[in-house]
Amino acid sequence: MLAVDVEKQLGALRISVRFDAVGGVTALFGPSGAGKTSVVNMIAGLLTPDRGSIAVDDTVLFDAARGIDVPPHRRRIGYVFQEGRLFPHLSVRQNLDYGRRMSGRPRGAAEFERIAALLDIGHLLERRPRMLSGGERQRVAVGRALLMGPRLLLLDEPLASLDAAHKREILPYLVRLRDDAGIPMVYVSHTAAEVRRIATTVVRLDAGRVVAAGGLELLKDADVDGLD
């Protein structure tokens, strides 16, 4: 379980967010500028909150009062960025292997095969990231985050940089991931239709605050946009 209770002043935006996420896919849903990415960056350790605490299961990752701030490389939290952020100087295979190599875990061929099959990227392994389409790039980014053996997966608008066709291409993989991988996910999006497809829980953010938290019924009044 993920427990977030953080405050952070970012220019004019004051982020003050508190929510729990219990397994499945928790969507952080809200308009641009609501502070969604900042919250995820705080969970990953890339941004330090001014106050509060972050914990996954029994592990405290951040606690301002107790002076705990686990650095990002020890948090074991997978992060899929909006722009993929694959390493341009490494092949797809080396990108996928990066997390495992950094943590020094032995190579699990079975796990590698399973995730490559799940995301259908087995035929791309020897390519460089610049030779991939947008959709392929994001699938590799998801695979790279999964192969580090994360206890939690953060996805920050993973479809935002893709056109409609590629969005439709990726979503089924993410749904499959939710149903098969069993890793809790936090999914950031400002698109209601996308959230409806993937999320099990919804946390609505606006102007740095949680305005509602609950099930998919929270999306009812949200605008419908052209995803499907």
Partner 1 sequence: MLDLTPAEWTAVELSLRIAVVATACALPFGIAIGWLLARTNFWGKSVLDGLVFLPLVMPPVVTGYLLLIWFGRKAPIGAFLDNHFGIVFSFRWTGAALACGVMGFPLMVRPIRLALEAIDRKLEDAASTLGANRLWVFVSVTLPLALPGIIAGVVLCFARALGEFGATITFVSNIPGETQTVSALIYTLTQVPGGDAAAGRLVLIAIALAFAALVASEWLARRATIRFHGE
| Contact residues for partner 1, defined by CB under 8 A | 44-46, 71-79, 81, 83, 85, 87-89, 98-99, 102-103, 128, 130, 144-145, 148
Instruction: Tell me the closest approach of the beta carbon of residue 151 to partner 1, in angstroms.
Output: 12
Nearer to partner 1, 11 or 88 (CB): 88
Nearer to partner 1, 105 or 215 (CB): 105
Nearer to partner 1, 81 or 222 (CB): 81
Instruction: Tell me the closest approach of the beta carbon of residue 199 to partner 1, in angstroms.
Output: 22
Nearer to partner 1, 116 or 141 (CB): 141
How far is the C-alpha of 29 from the C-alpha of 50, rounded, in Å? 23
Instruction: Tell me the closest approach of the beta carbon of residue 130 to partner 1, in angstroms.
Output: 5
Nearer to partner 1, 49 or 99 (CB): 99
Q: Which two tokens stand for residue 34?
A: 């609501």
Q: Which of 155, 145, 156, 137 is nearest to 92 (CA)?
A: 137
Instruction: Tell me the closest approach of the beta carbon of residue 44 to partner 1, in angstroms.
Output: 5
Instruction: Tell me the closest approach of the beta carbon of residue 46 to partner 1, in angstroms.
Output: 5
